[in-house]
């Protein structure tokens, strides 16, 4: 896989929002065009975990994030969960890769069942049917047998299941370093260069 020009990043209502927003920052810094999708529950988690209040309208979120990261209008587009005319809703215009980070078990189950009831689920369905890279970062513990069965079903469709489990062999000194460990693994899966941490053996 070559470095993607476009990546769909979806935020759902699972805990672990620092992973998703750090990933967004790294993708934009790498020059990738990002289609950002989010659920209402994701906004609640962002407030709970990061003490940030996002505007209610997707276009206002788009303006806020463009200003925060200093990117051009064309590099970041934000869509709500019901915006069916978004590019990622159709196989005629899929992103090169998609990451759902963090991903709820409900979203994972819906994707495994092919539900496509909202834009996040539909974009994932498109990624699978168009054989594009899809990385799911499920944030739950412990996993039930049902969770594991859904993840196995998706893994058999070549979906990458990447639980946010940081390692400790690099002697992390902060939460930020633990977050970067997971984000580095995600970026590796979609072939986006980074220098978030020293690689094993270096």
Residue 30 marked in a binding site: no
Residue 201 marked in a binding site: no
Buried b (16+ CB within 10 A) or exposed e, 150-161: bbeebeeeebbb
Residue 185 marked in a binding site: yes
Those residues whose C-beta lies under 8 Å from the C-beta of residue 159, and which sit 6 or more positions away, are 128, 134, 135, 136
Q: Using CB atoms within 10 A of its CB, is residue 7 exposed (0-12), middle (13-18) or buried (19+)?
A: buried
Residue 39 marked in a binding site: yes
- Cβ 153 vs Cβ 110: under 8 Å: no
Residue 70 marked in a binding site: no
Residue 156 marked in a binding site: no
Element (H, E) at 177: helix 175-189
Residue 139 marked in a binding site: yes
Rounded distance, CA 178 to CA 96, Å?
27
Residue 107 marked in a binding site: yes
Residue 169 marked in a binding site: yes
Give the count of beta carbons closer than 10 Å to the beta carbon of residue 55: 12
Residue 92 marked in a binding site: no
Rounded distance, CA 30 to CA 17, Å?
20
Residue 174 marked in a binding site: no
Rounded distance, CA 202 to CA 196, Å?
13
Binding residues for dimethylallyl phosphate: 169, 185
Q: Could you list the residues known to form a binding site, using ranges.
A: 13-15, 39, 104-107, 139, 169, 185
- The binding site for FMN comprises 13-15, 39, 104-107, 139
């Amino acid at each position: 896989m070559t470095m993607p020009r476009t990546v769909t990043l979806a935020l759902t209502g699972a805990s672990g929002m620092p992973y998703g927003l750090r990933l967004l920052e790294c993708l934009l810094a790498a020059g990738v065009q990002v289609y950002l999708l989010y659920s209402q529950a994701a906004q609640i988690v962002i407030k709970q975990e990061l003490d940030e209040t996002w505007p209610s309208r997707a276009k206002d979120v788009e303006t806020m994030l463009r200003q925060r990261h200093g990117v051009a209008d064309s590099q970041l587009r934000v869509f709500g969960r019901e915006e069916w005319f978004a590019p990622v809703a159709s196989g005629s215009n899929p992103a090169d890769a998609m990451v759902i980070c963090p991903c709820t078990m409900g979203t994972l189950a819906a994707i495994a069942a092919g539900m496509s009831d909202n834009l996040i689920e539909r974009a994932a369905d498109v990624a699978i049917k168009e054989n594009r890279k899809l990385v799911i970062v499920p944030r739950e513990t412990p996993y039930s047998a049902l969770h594991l069965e859904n993840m196995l079903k998706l893994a058999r469709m070549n979906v990458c299941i990447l639980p946010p489990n940081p390692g400790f062999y690099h002697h992390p000194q902060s939460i930020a370093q633990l977050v970067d460990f997971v984000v580095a693994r995600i970026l590796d899966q979609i072939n986006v260069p980074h220098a978030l941490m020293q690689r094993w053996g270096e």
